[in-house]
């Protein structure tokens, strides 16, 4: 069985800070990241989807975490076919475009601007990659990204652009994982050494993907979004306001242990980020997998960068 790293998607959201999970002395970005990384070996940076990171920020993440800590980083919205707020673009690029006011897609922009966004986004991640702390760049494609040759080519383009950094792939168009297409999708990813991101999420929505786990590379990834009955809400705390039950966590522990038997490393991210739900569930899942004899990475309480 391969190693299992468990963490959460974000460590700074407002509801977590208000929940009391952090002790009073963890009151700055540095001390909060230090506290988090003393309890989990992995975190997902979700904020990079909304705004591309600065290189200096990545350097601070690198310097404020233990040497064996791992960051997964969500790709900027413009690079995954999602709508992007003009204010999220780099200031000089925004000015060169004449300060656009409407939501943008990559197809709306000159190719040289898109190229520059790619270059800056990846350059900002270099400090993490060079320190061995970048696990994977998460490319979550939208529900209007269906199976097809053009979209498969784009997935490969994303992989190649990111090299030597690695990527992992999450779909939100069910057609990729319908029973009739599932083998073809997973085969495509395996043939191209692309980790598939298995998800747990509410079903019955246009963006719903069935909870299939599969190892299509030496890295396997699982993201647990919860089952909020307000999945379509624009309020983050409502959309991800879900606490996994003990029974659910035991079931997921069994499934994840099985997945880890097919991969060298498995990343499990709790994205039910409302208050400290994700942290509580991640801590309990770690315990349950440990009891099963899984090779779960558990950082010591007093680690330092």
pLDDT tens digits along 243-276: 999 999 999 999 999 999 999 999 999 999 889 9
pLDDT tens digits along 16-32: 999 999 999 999 999 99
302 has pLDDT over 50: no
pLDDT tens digits along 190-200: 999 999 999 99
pLDDT tens digits along 143-160: 999 999 999 999 999 999
Contacts of residue 274, defined as CB under 8 A and 6 or more positions apart, other chains included, come to 15, 236, 237, 238, 240, 241, 242
pLDDT of residue 300: 60
Query: Band of the pLDDT at 304, cuts 50, 70, 90?
Result: very low
Task: State the average pLDDT for the chain.
Answer: 94
Query: Band of the pLDDT at 57, cuts 50, 70, 90?
Result: very high
Burial status of residue 168 (CB atoms within 10 A of its CB: 0-12, 13-18, 19 or more): buried
Contact between 142 and 82 (Cβ < 8 Å): yes
278 has pLDDT over 60: yes
Q: Could you count the other beta carbons within 10 Å of the beta carbon of residue 269?
A: 26
pLDDT tens digits along 124-148: 999 999 999 999 999 999 999 999 9
Helix, strand, coil fractions of the chain, as percent rounded to 5: 40, 15, 40
- Alpha carbon 225 to its chain's center: 11
Contact between 297 and 260 (Cβ < 8 Å): no
- The stretch 5-24 carries a mean pLDDT of 95
Q: What percent of the chain has pLDDT over 90?
A: 89
180 has pLDDT over 70: yes
pLDDT of residue 127: 98
- The stretch 84-91 carries a mean pLDDT of 96
């Amino acid at each position: 069985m391969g190693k299992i790293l468990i963490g959460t998607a974000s460590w700074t959201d407002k509801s977590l800070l208000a929940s009391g999970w952090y002790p009073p002395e963890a009151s700055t970005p540095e001390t909060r990241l230090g506290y988090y990384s003393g309890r989990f070996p992995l975190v997902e940076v979700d904020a990079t989807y909304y705004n591309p990171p600065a290189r200096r920020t990545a350097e601070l993440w690198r310097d404020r975490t233990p040497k064996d800590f791992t960051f997964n980083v969500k790709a900027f919205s413009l690079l995954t076919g999602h709508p992007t707020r003009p204010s999220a673009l780099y200031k000089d690029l925004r000015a060169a475009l004449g300060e656009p006011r409407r939501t943008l897609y990559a197809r709306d922009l000159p190719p040289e601007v898109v190229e520059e966004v790619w270059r800056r986004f990846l350059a900002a991640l270099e400090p993490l990659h060079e320190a061995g702390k970048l696990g994977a760049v998460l490319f979550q494609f939208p529900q209007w990204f269906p199976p097809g040759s053009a979209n498969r080519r784009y997935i490969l383009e994303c992989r190649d652009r990111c090299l030597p950094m690695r990527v992992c792939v999450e779909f939100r168009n069910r057609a990729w994982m319908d029973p009739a297409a599932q083998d073809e999708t997973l085969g495509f990813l395996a043939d191209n050494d692309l980790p598939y991101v298995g998800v747990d999420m509410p079903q019955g929505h246009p963006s719903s993907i069935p909870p299939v786990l599969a190892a299509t590379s030496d890295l396997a990834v699982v993201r647990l979004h919860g089952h909020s009955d307000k999945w379509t809400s624009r309020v983050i705390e409502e959309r991800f306001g879900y606490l996994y039950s003990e029974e659910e966590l035991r079931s997921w522990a069994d499934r994840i242990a099985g997945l880890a038997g097919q991969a060298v490393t498995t990343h499990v991210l709790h994205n039910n980020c409302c208050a400290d739900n994700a942290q509580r569930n991640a801590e309990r899942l770690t315990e349950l997998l440990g009891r099963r004899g899984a090779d779960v990475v558990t950082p010591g309480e007093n680690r330092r960068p």
